Chains A and B, each alone.
Chain A
């Protein structure tokens, strides 16, 4: 019963949701879809509380045990609850100047900082990937060189102003690359639909806990 009930609920709701996406002019389906979307938001809001409790437990234990780096756990909890209490009891809405200050002056720059580190990771990943150790790596290296030179003024300068490298880069991007990507996308879409069907029909139950053996 522990697994049959969730499977039955999944099947009924999946049919409702799929029909609501494909058919129009049925008030019941629209209402059901909107209701399910609202339920999802409510569950998500409660899940934030569960996640916060998990963070508090993990870092609380780290602080009480004075484990290595415990001071960072203190800082994390101050930030977590500080922002939460400020939002609930002081700001009360997303347009409050204090709230927007914290977002624009703290969260946004920190996000941008982490995002910008990707450039260094791209460099180190490219170095490892482009080392010529196999015919495939050679193809990757040559393609990457054409792509890079075709995208910067240096490529055109090296060929005395001729746009050959740029044209080759465009061809690689638009023809073999697009073909490969679309092939992967078709396979992935079918895989996604097959996974959804397996779950809706209750054949795949891994997400219900354990492997079902």
Chain B
């Protein structure tokens, strides 16, 4: 048994990261103070967007992107869906959750149903509002476009893994007059969301959303470990830049082991 060539460094970094996450979680469970997390405008606006729908009597549209369940962005989107569904249930606001992936669809339905049940409003859950549109990327985009024009949601929440359809969703939402909150870790789609949406969760902010929205110390603690990881990354970049500038490739060799 041996580690796959080129994966050694990544393996040990992941182990260290796992240890850091566990240490922070134990600290949080032990009641130790967790450093404050900076405010994320897009997540702060989530309640405002749902409130706007409630006041206007219009639905919220939620898309978890087009990634499958093997994509961490989709799992992060599912956690946000739980929060959005719960808020919608509390304020008797319709939530239209559209899906492209057939495996994500039953999960979305279960999450929305469970969220309505948790606030004691299971009777208000409408199965027709959790929809599987199509497994085809652009057929899904067309379906969402139709929903945006026909049902005119007052909030358009697009969080998860998006590709070429991102701008279609965001522009159609803008034309429909919806307040738009987007978020993705797909770097090539971030510029589209930044340009077309009111708020955008950039990269890691998407993964931090569930911890941020739940405000659970244990979940917030894992964000601190995430920040430690970033600091290590910055140190490696600086050291690597200096070493490469003096003609040494030792760090590069170590990273590729």
Contacts and interface: CB of A to CB of B under 8 A. Distances in A.
A190 B233 CA distance: 10
Nearest to B14: A193
Interface in B159-217: 164, 167-168, 170-172, 174, 185, 187, 190, 192, 194-196, 202-208, 210-211, 214
A48 B103 CA distance: 8
B236 to A, nearest CB: 10
A181 B226 CA distance: 18
A210 B118 contact: yes
Interface in A94-141: 107, 110-111, 114-115, 117-118, 121-122, 124-126, 128-129
A153 interface: no
Interface of A: 18, 21-26, 40, 43-44, 47-48, 50-51, 54-55, 57-58, 61, 69, 107, 110-111, 114-115, 117-118, 121-122, 124-126, 128-129, 181, 184-188, 190-199, 201, 203-204, 206-207, 209-213
Given A43-B103, A211-B214, A26 B82 contact: no
B146 to A, nearest CB: 9
A23 B86 contact: no
A114 B219 CA distance: 40
B4 interface: yes
B207 A22 contact: no
A48 B18 CA distance: 36
A213 B219 CA distance: 13
Contact of A22 (B3, B21, B132, B195): B3
Nearest to B141: A114
Nearest to B185: A188
A198 B111 contact: no
Nearest to A40: B70
Interface string B229-254: 11001000000000000000000000
A contact patch SS? helix
Contacts of A110: 138-139
B115 interface: yes
Given A50-B105, A193-B17, A125 B168 contact: no
Contacts of B131: 54-55, 58
Given A47-B102, A190-B204, 4 more contacts: A69-B150, A114-B141, A207-B75, A209-B114
B138 A111 contact: yes
Given A196-B72, A197-B18, A203-B25, A26 B115 contact: no
A118 B83 CA distance: 31
Contacts of B86: 210-211, 213
Contacts of B174: 124-125, 128
